[in-house]
Structure formats: C-alpha cells, structure tokens
Amino acid sequence: MKKLIILTVFFNILMAFTIPQKKQRIVFFGDSITQAGVKPGGYITVLGDMYKQKGVQEQYELIGAGIGGNKVYDLYLRMEEDVLAKDPNTVVIWVGVNDVWHKKTSGTGTDADKFEKFYNAIIKKLQAKNIKVLICTPAAIGEKTDFSNELDGDLNKYANIIRQIAQKNNVDLIDLRKAFLDYNLANNPENKDRNILTTDGVHLNEKGNQLVAEQMLKALGK
C-alpha cells in the first residue's frame, strides 16, 4: 500500500513537470504597421526573437491581425473573426494613424468622438471575454522633433484620447507616441521627417521595429 502511494505521488509530480503548459496567445490588432509586423524584421517577429533569447518562446504564441488602411471602426467590424475566434489571452491594439492621416490623404479619417466610442466598444467586448487588453498611442506621422509635422496637432490629440481611454477602462498603455518623440529628440539632430525610426514618416524601419518590440516586451512583462 505504501509503495502504491509513493508511486502515485511520484507519478503526479512527474506529470506536473512533463505536461506542456498552455501558451499565452497574444493577438496584435491593427493596421499596415502591424500587418508588416509579422514579416522578417517586423516588430512582432523581433519580439518573438526576444522571447527566444530569454528561452521562453514556448510560453507564447504571437499572432498578427493587421490590415493595411484600417481605422478604429474597421477593427471593431472584424474583431469577431480576426481576434475573438482565435481565443487570445491578451490583445494589443495599435490603431489611430489612419484615423488621422486619411483625413489629409483621402478625406476619410475618423472624427474624435467616433474614434473614442469605437475604441471603447472594442475594449468592452474584449474585457467581456476576460481578455487582457493593452493599447498603444499612434507613434508618428512625420518624425520632426519641433512639432512642425503637418499632422502633429491631430496626432497628439488622438494620442491623448487613447491615454484617457486607458485610464477609464483600466487597461495598460504602451505610449509609443512618447517613445518615438523621446528617441527622435535624442537621435534626430537634423530634424528629419523620416528615416530615423520610419521609412516614410509612418511605417517602421529596422530601428523602429526594434524600439516597438522593446516597448511591447516591457509592457507584456508586467
């Protein structure tokens, strides 16, 4: 009888160490910047490499759910199929650039009040499923450091809206707008509008992908 008990305890301990732990599934939800994030050198791929370096890659599954040109209401309309159907533990939302940028380029941006309503609705829907939510401020539409980029005013306004949304909904904030401004102040003495962290003022270059991955890693590790 004692041997049976000992064997049972030993078996239970062995199984605890051998049964694979369920991966943390993280969905990155956004626009073309996130769509490119899963490509070689993209911020999601770089984040995955960081997890490998730490030896914890088996603990995470990183999924990109970015579509070029998307605005906040596009995310709301496709979240069932592209996010909830994947049963994530965590969702990182990065949207807002097109809501501002497309006002200028095509006249199809998103008014601030509608932006806030759709964003809140996305968060509420995710939280109702007990999904952890992290939200990002839009990083840049031009990299000049003296606030002379044409859309700096609107971009800062929408970044502030997202900061307030984070507080109201008790979700973690990844303040990429601040991170990009700080980096450019330190590394853009010629006040260039691109080629510091972006290729065109918006989409990420190698250094931009690295910086975003570092910010994501820091936030997801909390």
Strands of the sheet containing 24-30, edge to edge, are: 60-66, 24-30, 90-94, 132-136, 172-174
Nearest to 33 by CA among 182, 190, 200, 174: 200
Domains of the chain in sequence order: 22-220 (3.40.50.1110)
Report, as ranges of residue numbers, the positions in the chain whose pLDDT lies below 70: 1-21, 222
Which amino acid, residue 11?
A: F
DSSP-assigned letter for residue 158: H
Q: How far apart are CA 139 and CA 96, in angstroms?
A: 9
Residue 9 pLDDT: 45
H helix runs in the chain, sequence order: 2-18, 32-35, 43-53, 72-82, 97-105, 112-127, 152-169, 176-187, 206-220
Q: How far apart are CA 112 and CA 125, in angstroms?
A: 20
Residue 3 pLDDT: 58
CA distances (Å), origin 1, targets 14, 15, 135: 20, 21, 56
Q: What is the model's pTM?
A: 0.89
Convert the pLDDT of each residue in 35-81 to its tens digit: 999 999 999 999 999 999 999 999 999 999 999 999 999 999 999 99
Q: How far apart are CA 18 and CA 81, in angstroms?
A: 33
